[in-house]
Structure 1
């Protein structure tokens, strides 16, 4: 007798969605930022999940890749609260594998109110509001945290 599972049957998913999952997960696992940016620029949904409902953010946090975690949160705007089939978040994975830099960053990301989650963490404390549209003055996005600026 089969029991009900939280696992998603990959055969029942849309083919385009399924084809986008593997490159995103592979890139996160291989820690390839260039390929991740390329997928983002091609419009690939980086919040997509595999059959265990794990996202590229889960994988990057498990690997301890802080730059990839920052990119996924600040630029790709993935859901930091996403849970896998074992009800674990990316923050839980970073804690389990003792990646303290990722834990610190993800704790701040999770603590932000929903209304401010569209902003990057590094831009929340920015004081450069003089020329908000001057591209020469402001980077398009930043992977740095406020502490490192």
Structure 2
């Protein structure tokens, strides 16, 4: 997986985190907070025509939630900047990707006079790449 994909995954996770916090805030704002002593008592259903509407106090204050969202937004911006600055790097597990070590070894083998087939087998690169490196780096 290259750095750009990792960055996009992190951005997606941060956005999902923001959405989750917003949904949590909306849910907590709509339900009253119950103390532990009240929660342990049995629930009595009041059949009166006017229900008690107590003021709702959210578990997280709006200014705290806003500051958390600002921090997440700043972090998301930092991640986006980091992804833009990071050059795209191929990973060895991707098809067709070769590492710097494999290429350095292939160059060294070509200078020592190895055949393109030996270079390809030893370094795990294609025969075409090995032939090219052999032509470029073999002793004349």
TM-score (norm 2): 0.23
Higher helix share: 2
Whichever of the two has the greater Rg, that structure is 2
TM-score (norm 1): 0.22
